[in-house]
Structure 1
């Protein structure tokens, strides 16, 4: 029997699946099988009852689906009940829909799309043109019908589930919201590969076979077992740490917001779309965690449109925050903090979206075609169905993933001093300067460890190695304001404003105001800083954090730099081709000199660990070289050779070989550039350094 690791070139991580199956098998008889056995029973029951030619098609359909339980029911979403109701009203039309769906000579995706479209037609024929009604026959529901009818060929498709499985197993199959045809086909391909792997697990197959009863579908092809394993992966394999109980989903917690479709208790909450007119008020003016009252009366003292929605909203209901023209984007997630008291309704902002979601993106999604706001946009507070909210949140999470906590290695001052060759006093001073000024530039020649230091400085202040709170960019001559802050970008239909990397980073930082975030800029003096920063020159100043706001060119939404964002720049002092730092920016940064660390305790311990006479002698010569560079009037201390050229090696390597490479391909070319007008000096140091290897 082959192991999962031996199955070859597939599109997912077999080793990770093997790890998960250990847990799955341990949980199988204790909890998994008792809770999920109904799936195998539902298939068997459907197979026994289904009769496409039944005289009373509606009654037969209801009976065939009666064992499906949660497969065809979710909060506020009742596809089985709706399709049965339509079958009773229009039996021949619905019968024809199922006959065509189960026609295996036709394309898989086309059958699903056709079934959905015909369900809309039948619903309108039965209920008229009321666009607030839903038939709930989505891809999840229709693939459930296909699986019930052909359990040896299909699996139930659920976007949130297959996406989680693909991510957890590192799959190469792309699952992306809105790509319906490719998602469905990739789902089949991925699950087929997983099924082939499960077949090789004799223990797992035996577990299933020993628990199947006469009321269960025998599952000879293991497709229902595959679906159950994938369900387990999506729910349990990467569970979040236990969170305190709360009366509503917490979108700022480390796990993804529970969707209405997936959360069993979601019926306790409603879902709303709240419009903000940025010319009057903006979500950007509200901090995360801040509670904002919203009056039930308009400026004229009359009741707001769709007044009943304000009466129906309940504490804990989730809110999608949308800003209307000229922004026209979903920019925040919130929840109802307090029900209306006759005067106002209170809502709390939970999350700022680093990457807002455009109106056009949402409006073009057929899943949202019947959304109350899109069918009648006059008003402020609009009802969302659980499925609509879930769909919007999925779109949000595509562009705004939530960071996971509790999975980072700790990192403190001691770790920094072990990694970076800097004494404790200088570290404390650097740390204090950054925390006070909020902006610091590490300046020095190449090889002094500026980049290496910057990331570890951030970790040491965080107390952990959390790269989710670090953004790293490199400036260059073509780097622009549009890249950094944001700008208009061409799209298929005209232009759309797209946020830049710093804008998105600041929005992410807003969601965790109690934690520091670090924006690291390499080669900061290579960019045109006035053009890149623009109006942010004022906002990055420590005294103006969280206080000063500016209106960006794309619309009326104000923007500020959060106080928990720290900027660390790196500047190469040995590059004479670069202009000086803009004075307006210079006075907003502190400058910290990074010097060669050959004489520090840390580097001395490292050098001694190599136990190489060649390294010792070469380092001594480089220190002499640095002294001459420092005395040179045309160069100075900022041009000295850094210690990092000699780092990253261990005692097992040939010291002579890599030291010679450092001399020939890094140090000497640099000296040729330094003393381009003095060949004799370069030649002298060529001889001095090579003499180290001549013994």
Structure 2
């Protein structure tokens, strides 16, 4: 791509990556840019809607070179990159390094003539540029009217390396979530996924051990349509987390100076903006453990589903330049988790609530849970039925306690072993879970009545 077009795209906030050898643009970089531009061309507010229009608009922009210098047959700095770019396009189309003068003129003479209307001899200018490219060992003359582009081998190598390194990921959907051990009805999971698509932001709330983080990540995979870790960013809020940590702030650099650095959220925003044909998800664990309104800052406004356009962009507290405006693209989604039993956490800001859809996860110890655990961990159904009855009794005790309530129930995750963990002695397994996981939680609940916690522990284990 020529410098003028790159500069114009850069002014629109679209930059061409250079991950190839010798800091050049690789085939993957060009393919990614082309995919992104195809999507942006379809946007009504985007200033151009095709490649010819893009080239024309770019060359109509003010340049350091005068129009006469750019279009004169003797001052051809503007011609050379355009011709080289079209040589690459033609060789890609031919799937060969070899092309002819006739092919090039048929494909591009009219287009180049329209870009340089003051040039009365565009065909001669093209031929002259081919001679210059040959002198610079960029192309070679094979015979009259036939050329070879020496850069084609690099393109083939780049494409081969991309294909070799590309990891095939199987599609991931609602059925996979259910098979992985989700005990919600398939219709419920489908509805949750649709709410995430529509609202863009979702919070899963519930008591301890109800699988909030587990489900959040799998909803993200289903939205992305594959278990693609590079499209998922997981962070955890805590009381000391700040806007400068999460969005953008000044941080020390290796040379003793302060550098303006983007946090994980703004990095995800940039990734999503650069790849609009892919979906990205930020999973925020314990979203109410910090101060969400303070941590998000201006991003709180931009989270709204109807503000996911460049026209809604806002200036950040820490700007990289005076013209910078940031917006959250529509292909970035946020899933938060919230423990509603933690009394040390502040209530969620109403402004944040308005921007998220909420779903409460309950303790689920039904037939689906029993069948899954029995199959995955070889635990007999009769024993699991006993576990269910005792956990249900404990949760009833917790729910009816005026000091606690239903938000303090013990979740099913406590009594759901990891997949394929064979439990050879179910009784010993349950004793360990009760004594090292559930009982310490009960001691926190009834810190002023340890006897109540001890009686609840004994009731769970009695007679096993």
Q: Does the TM-score normalized on the shorter chain lie above 0.5?
A: yes
Q: Unmatched 5+ residue regions in structure 2?
A: 1-14, 31-45, 87-110, 119-149
In structure 2, what is the equivalent of residue 376 of structure 1?
Answer: none
Q: Note the C-alpha offset of 1:665.
A: 1.4
- Alpha-carbon distance in 1 for matches of 2:83, 2:50: 15
Q: Note the C-alpha offset of 1:288.
A: 12
- Alpha-carbon distance in 2 for matches of 1:496, 1:454: 33
Q: Of the candidates 403, 409, 414, which is equivalent to residue 645 of structure 1?
A: 414
Q: Note the C-alpha offset of 1:518.
A: 1.0
Structure 2 residue 304 is the aligned partner of structure 1 residue 537: no
In structure 2, what is the equivalent of residue 689 of structure 1?
Answer: 460
In structure 2, what is the equivalent of residue 658 of structure 1?
Answer: 429
Secondary structure of 1:518 counterpart? strand
Q: Of the candidates 432, 436, 444, which is equivalent to residue 206 of structure 2?
A: 444
Q: Note the C-alpha offset of 1:538.
A: 0.8
Change in 2 beyond 3 A, CA 1:469/1:497? same
| Contact preservation (8 Å) 1:411, 1:464 | yes
| Contact preservation (8 Å) 1:431, 1:457 | yes
In structure 2, what is the equivalent of residue 342 of structure 1?
Answer: 116
Q: Note the C-alpha offset of 1:689.
A: 1.3
| Contact preservation (8 Å) 2:224, 2:279 | yes
Structure 2 residue 377 is the aligned partner of structure 1 residue 622: no
CA displacement 1:271-302 (0-9 Å, x = unmatched) = xxxxxxxxxxxxxx989998472245639995
CA displacement 1:54-109 (0-9 Å, x = unmatched) = xxxxxxxxxxxxxxxxxxxxxxxxxxxxxxxxxxxxxxxxxxxxxxxxxxxxxxxx
| Contact preservation (8 Å) 2:199, 2:357 | yes
Q: 1:387-426, aligned counterparts within 5 Å?
A: 405-419=166-180, 420-426=182-188
Secondary structure of 2:395 counterpart? helix
Q: Note the C-alpha offset of 1:685.
A: 0.8
- Alpha-carbon distance in 1 for matches of 2:163, 2:262: 18
In structure 1, what is the equivalent of residue 130 of structure 2?
Answer: none
| Contact preservation (8 Å) 2:373, 2:417 | no
In structure 1, what is the equivalent of residue 347 of structure 2?
Answer: 580
- Alpha-carbon distance in 2 for matches of 1:304, 1:536: 46
In structure 1, what is the equivalent of residue 6 of structure 2?
Answer: none
- Alpha-carbon distance in 1 for matches of 2:48, 2:449: 60
| Contact preservation (8 Å) 1:607, 1:616 | no
- Alpha-carbon distance in 2 for matches of 1:636, 1:449: 19
| Contact preservation (8 Å) 1:484, 1:500 | yes
Structure 2 residue 246 is the aligned partner of structure 1 residue 484: yes
How many pairs are equivalent? 352
Larger radius of gyration: 1
CA displacement 1:190-238 (0-9 Å, x = unmatched) = xxxxxxxxxxxxxxxxxxxxxxxxxxxxxxxxxxxxxxxxxxxxxxxxx
TM-score after normalising by structure 1:
0.46
CA displacement 1:10-33 (0-9 Å, x = unmatched) = xxxxxxxxxxxxxxxxxxxxxxxx
Q: Of the candidates 347, 359, 365, which is equivalent to residue 598 of structure 1?
A: 365
Q: Of the candidates 56, 81, 95, which is equivalent to residue 313 of structure 1?
A: 81
CA displacement 1:574-622 (0-9 Å, x = unmatched) = 1110001111111101111011111152443324641165443233101
Change in 2 beyond 3 A, CA 1:597/1:305? farther
- Alpha-carbon distance in 1 for matches of 2:307, 2:393: 46
Change in 2 beyond 3 A, CA 1:415/1:512? same
Change in 2 beyond 3 A, CA 1:536/1:461? same
| Contact preservation (8 Å) 1:298, 1:304 | no
In structure 2, what is the equivalent of residue 522 of structure 1?
Answer: 285
Change in 2 beyond 3 A, CA 1:414/1:299? closer
Structure 2 residue 440 is the aligned partner of structure 1 residue 673: no
Q: Note the C-alpha offset of 1:549.
A: 0.4
- Alpha-carbon distance in 1 for matches of 2:261, 2:423: 50
Output the aligned Cα RMSD.
3.8
| Contact preservation (8 Å) 1:487, 1:500 | yes
Change in 2 beyond 3 A, CA 1:479/1:429? same
Secondary structure of 2:417 counterpart? coil
Q: Note the C-alpha offset of 1:490.
A: 2.2
Change in 2 beyond 3 A, CA 1:403/1:581? farther
In structure 2, what is the equivalent of residue 632 of structure 1?
Answer: 401
User: Using CA pairs below 8 Å that are at least 6 residues apart, which structure has the higher relative contact order?
Assistant: 2
Q: Of the candidates 222, 239, 249, which is equivalent to residue 460 of structure 1?
A: 222
Q: Of the candidates 312, 315, 321, which is equivalent to residue 551 of structure 1?
A: 315
- Alpha-carbon distance in 2 for matches of 1:645, 1:261: 51
Q: Note the C-alpha offset of 1:409.
A: 2.5
Structure 2 residue 327 is the aligned partner of structure 1 residue 560: yes
- Alpha-carbon distance in 1 for matches of 2:16, 2:236: 31
Structure 2 residue 189 is the aligned partner of structure 1 residue 427: yes
Q: Note the C-alpha offset of 1:521.
A: 0.7
- Alpha-carbon distance in 2 for matches of 1:511, 1:642: 40
- Alpha-carbon distance in 2 for matches of 1:529, 1:500: 15
Secondary structure of 2:278 counterpart? coil
- Alpha-carbon distance in 1 for matches of 2:210, 2:173: 21
CA displacement 1:164-197 (0-9 Å, x = unmatched) = xxxxxxxxxxxxxxxxxxxxxxxxxxxxxxxxxx
- Alpha-carbon distance in 2 for matches of 1:264, 1:647: 47
Q: 1:505-516, aligned counterparts within 5 Å?
A: 505-516=268-279
Choose 680-689 or 474-483, whichever is displaced more: 680-689
| Contact preservation (8 Å) 1:462, 1:516 | yes
Q: Note the C-alpha offset of 1:684.
A: 2.2
TM-score after normalising by structure 2:
0.67
Q: Note the C-alpha offset of 1:512.
A: 2.4
Q: Unmatched 5+ residue regions in structure 1?
A: 1-249, 270-284, 319-337, 345-385, 395-400
Q: Note the C-alpha offset of 1:263.
A: 10
Secondary structure of 1:559 counterpart? coil
- Alpha-carbon distance in 1 for matches of 2:454, 2:300: 46
